[in-house]
Structure 1
Amino acid sequence: MAKVKEEKTNVMRVLDQKKIPYTPHAYPHGDGEAPDGVTVARSLGQDPERVFKTLVTRGASGGYYVFDIPVTDTLDLKKAAKAVGEKSIAMLHSRELLPLTGYVHGGCSPIGMKKQFPTVFHETAEILDTIMVSAGKIGFQVELSPADLIELVGGTTADVTV
């Protein structure tokens, strides 16, 4: 039986390069649309509060912002705007995601975007030993220390959910 070569995503290569410890996870998925975050968490046997989704927004000033929140939560646009000093923010349209970040909807990660944007993690990240975020490709997640992740992307934390 041939040995299956572990697939490395760009996110994993960035973490390896920066010598940040992580645990890769893969989950089953169909062609096309990515499963929702709760389905991903369940398929990996994880508490959905530890699995974070990456959301990209545009502020009233035209700047872009990244928010990482638990998959069960909803981003509060008013709290999010306040957290980044914007008058208002809006979710980025899916079709704009790939050209801006290099990632597709359902595989967007705060690590390794084409350009690093201001990134805010939900405040619960600070109290968890590890969190999971997309590894930059549908079907893959990485589990790592939130402190390492926040430091890597120059992120902050705030209460940004409903």
Structure 2
Amino acid sequence: MTITAIETRYAGCRFRSRLEARWAVFFDHQGIRWEYEPKGFMTAAGPYLPDFRIPDYRLIIEVKGADPTPRALDRCAEVARACQKHGGDMIILGGDIPVPLASVAFDTPTAWTLQEDEWVTSPLHEAWAWCTGDHYWSTSRGCDPYCDALTAARSARFEYGESGAGS
């Protein structure tokens, strides 16, 4: 069964999918300034339009559904190299918004990590992947705001005119 993305409006943006809109809800609850589909740029693999830019952290974020294809991962690795050339980093957020249970950290068994062209699946099935850099959100910084943001993102409703903003 193929799942089709549902275009979703949130915070004045028209997102290509509900998942992207939910990540925007997460960023808002964390107080993270974001830009959706900012200016595209060229890479060795061709033109690229990022899903999000996080200007305060010099991050590009790509949102992927579950099980990205090898072609998509190769493309992300190329984009990550282009980001590094310009002093930034790239993060892939794969799968659904994680359930706020465990720490998410770089290079651990509790995260999805893209290293040396391998996709390592988390035993907890959390939805985090990394191309480059050492920026990450971790429950070790204090779970409450992080867990609250994940819960808000997972709970956001956009049906029947709802804004996704929650209560």
TM-score, normalised to structure 2, is 0.30
More contact order relative to length (CA 8 Å, sep ≥ 6): 1
